[in-house]
Amino acid sequence: MVGCPFCEEFPETRDHLFVKCQFVWNLWCQLCRWWGVSWCCPQSLEELYTQWPGLVGNNRARAPWVVVFFVNIWNLWVSRNKLVFEAKVVDWGKMLESVWFKATQPSYCYDLSTLLINAESALAWNGPGCTFVLK
């Protein structure tokens, strides 16, 4: 099995790539700190997806908080692909700023269907050689 392109220490699985990799985990933790959210490490991407909206109790803050989840997943996937296919090094600080900017700027334009389709693809992906299965 191919190793994680971010840490190069563990096999590249969906759960490791999006949740358990030390670099990715630090990114999620920083996002939670910015929002003043305390949380426990989920064991899978599905668990993270399920628990994420409930971590913020304020209904007004919930919409941008959910956007943070999808933007971070998208950025991780794009960064993974750039690293694997173009050998571009990940700048974790810029990625963090990008998530924050995209989630908090109402003027930032999203193609929501593309974002959601790719988020579903990321949820369905389970490592190299696997095909995407949209739910």
Lowest mean pLDDT among 60-74, 80-94, 101-115: 101-115
Share of the chain above pLDDT 90, in %: 48
Domain regions of the chain by residue span:
14-124
Which is more confident, 47 or 99?
A: 47
**Per-residue pLDDT at 112:** 47
Q: What is the mean pLDDT of residues 68-86?
A: 93
pLDDT tens-digit readout, 31-70: 999 888 888 889 999 999 999 999 988 777 888 888 889 9
In this predicted model, what pLDDT tens digit does every residue of 124-135 receive, in sequence order? 544 443 333 333
- Check pLDDT > 70 for residue 110: no
Q: Which residue has the tokens 């960064």?
A: 79
Please state the separation of Cα 20 from the chain's center in Å: 11
State the pLDDT confidence band at 4, using cuts at 50, 70 and 90. very high
Residue range 96-101: mean pLDDT, rounded? 79
Closest CA to 124 of 57, 49, 59, 33: 49
Residue 76 pLDDT greater than 70, yes or no: yes
Question: Of 76-80, 88-92, 93-97, which gets the smallest average pLDDT?
Answer: 93-97
